């Protein structure tokens, strides 16, 4: 039995470009059939000391699955089936706080979930899942991601609150003012419920974000038809955005190299991996409780 923790990167917008951008050594192991439906295709990186997987959240041939229609439960469950214990999630939000600029790489430390229409838990009808969310993102992965970003030759801003909206439409000016008043630093559409689902299955999860644009009303931009975000980015910002996106390949390669250099890096105890301990102690679930989960949970979890 493999006791080394498995690791996965979930790629966000433009994540489908990764394999064409020079990230080599991946084998397509296909979509995984889960009780929650089919996952997006999973790719296994070969010849790494730590089992390493890559999944493109929005599909592999383009932006074919927009954020509200991603099957987050199937994707996260599929990684659990592959014995993944730690997930680095890649996504590209827009800046609300102008201390972040387009092209920055950031390590958010909190989230405000503004989504309303997504399947958000594995624990329907179970009485389970009353789980603390501070810290909401894995504290143990921070040091690892800092090393990875450095190895990829990039700089990182730590901290910031990610506001997650449903989409696929972008936000209004008034909504962005509201999120700013909440203390939101940037706004995107993908980390919720993904982060919460990973915690429900006792997996470590940490997002690494790149800033794609300024959120609506943060800077004044003329409306331009037929362009990405209809003119929210000027020419210089488009270049920075494209540069940041292109670095996913380097980050994935650096993550594999970092894990190869220190295969024990992610093997320590982390509170994320004990999130269901209270229910286990209480006898509500067994050691492999997650194998019994299903939509609606008609079956027992023991």
Pattern 92-111, Zn ion, x by CB under 5 A = --------------------
Write down the residue that tokens 């909401």 correspond to.
136
Pattern 252-291, Zn ion, x by CB under 5 A = ------------------x-x-------------------
Pattern 131-150, Zn ion, x by CB under 5 A = -------x-x----------
Closer Cβ to Zn ion, 187 or 272, answer by number: 272
Count of residues in contact with Zn ion, rule CB under 5 A: 5
Of 4-12, 47-55, 159-167, 200-208, the window that binds Zn ion (rule: CB under 5 A) is 200-208
Q: In whole angstroms, how close is the CB of 131 to Zn ion at the nearest point?
A: 13
86, β-bridge pairs: 7, 204
Residue from 164, 204, 209, 259 binding Zn ion (CB under 5 A)? 204
Closer Cβ to Zn ion, 127 or 159, answer by number: 159
Q: In whole angstroms, how close is the CB of 5 to Zn ion at the nearest point?
A: 10
Q: Would residue 219 be called left, alpha or beta, if left means φ above 0 and alpha means ψ between -120 and 50 degrees?
A: beta
9, β-bridge pairs: 54, 88
Interface with Zn ion by CB under 5 A: which residues? 138, 140, 204, 270, 272
């Amino acid at each position: 039995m493999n006791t080394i923790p498995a690791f996965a990167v979930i790629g966000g917008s433009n994540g489908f470009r990764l394999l064409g951008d020079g990230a080599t050594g991946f084998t397509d192991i296909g979509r995984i059939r889960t009780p929650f439906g089919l996952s997006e295709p999973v790719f296994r990186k070969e010849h790494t000391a730590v089992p390493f997987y890559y999944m493109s959240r929005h599909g592999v041939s383009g932006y074919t699955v927009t954020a509200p229609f991603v099957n987050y439960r199937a994707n996260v469950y599929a990684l659990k089936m592959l014995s993944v214990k730690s997930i680095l999630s890649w996504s590209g939000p827009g800046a609300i706080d102008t201390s972040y600029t387009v092209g920055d790489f950031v390590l958010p430390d909190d989230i405000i979930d503004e989504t309303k229409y997504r399947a958000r838990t594995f624990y329907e009808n179970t009485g389970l899942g009353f789980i603390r969310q501070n810290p909401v993102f894995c504290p143990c992965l921070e040091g690892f991601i800092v090393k990875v970003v450095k190895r990829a030759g990039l700089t990182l801003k730590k901290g910031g609150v990610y506001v997650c909206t449903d989409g696929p439409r972008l936000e209004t000016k008034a909504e962005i003012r509201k999120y700013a008043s909440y203390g939101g630093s940037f706004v995107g559409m993908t980390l919720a419920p993904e982060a919460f689902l990973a915690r429900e299955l006792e997996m470590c999860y940490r997002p690494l974000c790149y800033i794609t644009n300024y959120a609506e009303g943060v800077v004044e931009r003329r409306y331009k038809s037929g362009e990405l975000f209809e003119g929210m980015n000027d020419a210089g910002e488009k270049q920075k955005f494209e540069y940041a996106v292109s670095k996913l390949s380097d980050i994935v390669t650096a993550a594999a190299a970092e894990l190869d250099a220190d295969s024990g890096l992610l093997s320590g105890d982390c509170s994320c991996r004990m999130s269901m301990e209270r229910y286990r102690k209480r006898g509500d679930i067994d050691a492999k409780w997650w194998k019994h989960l299903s939509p609606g949970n008609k079956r027992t979890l023991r």
